[in-house]
Structure 1
Amino acid sequence: MKDIPMATKFQDIQPIKKGMSSDEKYFVTAQNGEHFLLRLAEYKEFDRKKAEYELMKKLFHLNIPMPSPIDFGVCNNESSVYTLLSWIDGEEAEIAIPKLSKEKQYELGKESGRILQRIHTLNAPENTEDWETRYFSTMDKRLEAFRREGILFEGNDIILNYIDTNRHMLQKRPQCYHHGDYHLGNLIQSKSGQLFVIDWHTVDFENYGDPWYEFNRIGMEYPYFASGQIDGYFDNHVPEDFWKLLAYYLSASAITSIVWSKYFAPDRLSSILELNQNVLKWFDHMNSTVPTWYTQVK
């Protein structure tokens, strides 16, 4: 830690083991009592980490409730890069939500939807290749991997047919910047009750694309929260096309996760297979695009 330029201002540094990121993460207490999040990555990640930091600065200036970007740079030993962020003191939404009433879950969901909509006001870079091409250049490989070595389940042909026959829906979709991993584990409810977005370090489709693609990690296990997130995003006026694309992105993400889990997270394989079965139930075997868990709270 002595290789970080501002290390002399640190009083205490505690490692954080939670999360799947390859970054080293630390809870830092400064000499003045302030708390920070410190992330370290290998030097070869410099360009990507610098781009992440610059994106966080842009979003912070859009008044997104998120950790403040404090500093970024190269460690003195030049073997790694660091990112220093303010610390958000609170509870992960996935822990906080079960303690709330259904009405409170819905309202918190609406807040998360409004935040996500604000994130999506930041347009993708100019001259970005169209979304349909970008999406399928990645997803076609994943779908082929499933057909070649995935674990088959009852109804997998229904999901694959829905994906194949509705490819046209991705034509001429708008593109914006993404959070990249917008789910309950990356939302913090502060002690004052405000919702904050953390962990801006997932690179999926270079962190920009169809804004509605970001709903593929929506927390369906808490239907009132998930419903509120959709209603908050669209200010209670959900377009029909959204439901069709939600069914598309959720089903494609679920079925292509099987091969990934098989090799990289075998302990999660049973839950991912269950997710695929749930997708079939939610969308009535892909005959209905409004999921069964969607509930409006008046």
Structure 2
Amino acid sequence: MKNLDIISEQFDLSSIPGSDSWIHISEFKKGDSKDKKYFIVDEHYQQYLLRLTDSKDYERKKIEYENLKTLVANGTRVPVPVGFGLDQSGRAVYLMTRWINGESGVMEMCRQNRQNQCIHGIYTGLWLKNAHYYSIQNRSPEAWEQCQLARWRKIQDAYRYGQLKISYFQKLSDMIERNLPLLSGRPQCILHGEFSLDDIILSNEGNLMLIDFSEWSYGDPLHDLAQVMTRIHKCCPIYAIGILECYLADGNIDKKLKIINLYAAFNLIEDVLNNPDSDQESREQALEDVQVFIRDLKGCRQDKPIWYKNVRAACKKANQQELRIADSELP
């Protein structure tokens, strides 16, 4: 096959079980992952997604593969893994999953009506919570707390000596200092990593699934919700409410929101400080994102953002049944 020959100039894929039955392979460029990705069809018209990356990432990809197997076995809707290993040359590691026919991203969610957005949010919260509950866990809470304290010190130093300044930074800093003690004893698991709207897919059968765990890391499961408070809600606030309503349904909402806000603040400040050479538009957008976040929390005086309060009541009233169903499926 011509396409396979082209790819084989870089990687020897003959060692991948079943590769002799492939009748189509084409590069797939969607998503933010650094992996090389390919869409594959075999002679039985089964479809797969093949990911290739440098062999130095072997152990990391092995954990990703094992974690996906664990999640699938426990009913979490993620891509089904079907193969993992090194190519024949030993230069690349591959991870292969079943292909999911569907649409992902912001535009697809925005095309949904309000009720469906909230329902999809509820099930996103469910699958995220399942993924966190069943994932491989092997680090102590103390390690995470110390890591985040060091992260905050690094942010403070970068801000102190950097040229970019953030309006009302002191208010943000005070909120972070108030909430840092809440990190003591936080559980750790494998996180999705960079969870965003691009990391969900609505299948042609109408099922919502979590995809692309390539940026996984160990940490507090609430860290995966930081983007809900900063970016996801700006695109689809009702979807964001659905996620939070499901994920936080087991109580201690105020405490958990404080922690999520802490992680969101870290992310936003780092976006400003870590890209000093970016174009002016990107810098201005990063600074604006921080200001919106501060305003949403009324100058960091409250834990529930304004948009959360405004949207939550209507969403919850319309979807009590879905919340009960999701709650019954939680581990």
Q: Same fold (TM over 0.5)?
A: yes
For 2:227 and 2:261, the matched residues in 1 are separated by: 12
For 2:37 and 2:279, the matched residues in 1 are separated by: 21
Identity level (%): 26
Task: Call closer, same or farther: CA 1:236–1:59 in 2, change over 3 Å.
Answer: closer
Equivalence for 1:82:
94
Larger Rg: 2
**Structure 1 segments unaligned to the other structure (5+ residues):** none
What is the aligned-residue RMSD (CA, Å)? Answer: 2.1
Are positions 1:282 and 2:292 aligned together? no
Are positions 1:164 and 2:174 aligned together? no
**Structure 2 segments unaligned to the other structure (5+ residues):** 1-6, 318-331
Are positions 1:190 and 2:203 aligned together? yes
For 2:105 and 2:147, the matched residues in 1 are separated by: 31
SS for the counterpart of 1:81 is: strand
Task: Call closer, same or farther: CA 1:265–1:11 in 2, change over 3 Å.
Answer: farther
| TM-score, normalised via structure 2 length | 0.82
Task: Call closer, same or farther: CA 1:8–1:269 in 2, change over 3 Å.
Answer: farther
Most deviating of 46-55 and 123-132: 123-132
Task: Call closer, same or farther: CA 1:34–1:147 in 2, change over 3 Å.
Answer: farther
Task: Call closer, same or farther: CA 1:154–1:104 in 2, change over 3 Å.
Answer: same
- Give yes or no for contact 2:64–2:213 (8 Å, CA) kept in 1: yes
Q: Could you tell me how far 1:26 is from its partner in structure 2?
A: 1.1
| TM-score, normalised via structure 1 length | 0.91
Match of 2:120 among 108, 112, 131: 108
User: Would you identify which runs of 4 or more consecutive aligned residues in structure 1 move more than 6 Å?
Assistant: 264-267
Task: Call closer, same or farther: CA 1:29–1:262 in 2, change over 3 Å.
Answer: farther
Q: Could you tell me how far 1:126 is from its partner in structure 2?
A: 4.2
- Give yes or no for contact 2:191–2:218 (8 Å, CA) kept in 1: yes
Equivalence for 2:219:
209
Equivalence for 2:34:
22
- Give yes or no for contact 2:139–2:188 (8 Å, CA) kept in 1: no
For 1:46 and 1:265, the matched residues in 2 are separated by: 35
Most deviating of 141-150 and 212-221: 141-150
Are positions 1:133 and 2:133 aligned together? no
Task: Call closer, same or farther: CA 1:187–1:238 in 2, change over 3 Å.
Answer: farther
Q: Match of 1:46, as an amino acid? A: Y
**Aligned length in residues:** 295
Q: 1:153-188: CA deviations, max 9, x gaps?
A: 221222122213432121122223212122211000
Q: 1:106-131: CA deviations, max 9, x gaps?
A: 11111111111111213663452513
SS for the counterpart of 2:233 is: coil
- Give yes or no for contact 1:150–1:258 (8 Å, CA) kept in 2: no
Higher helix share: 2
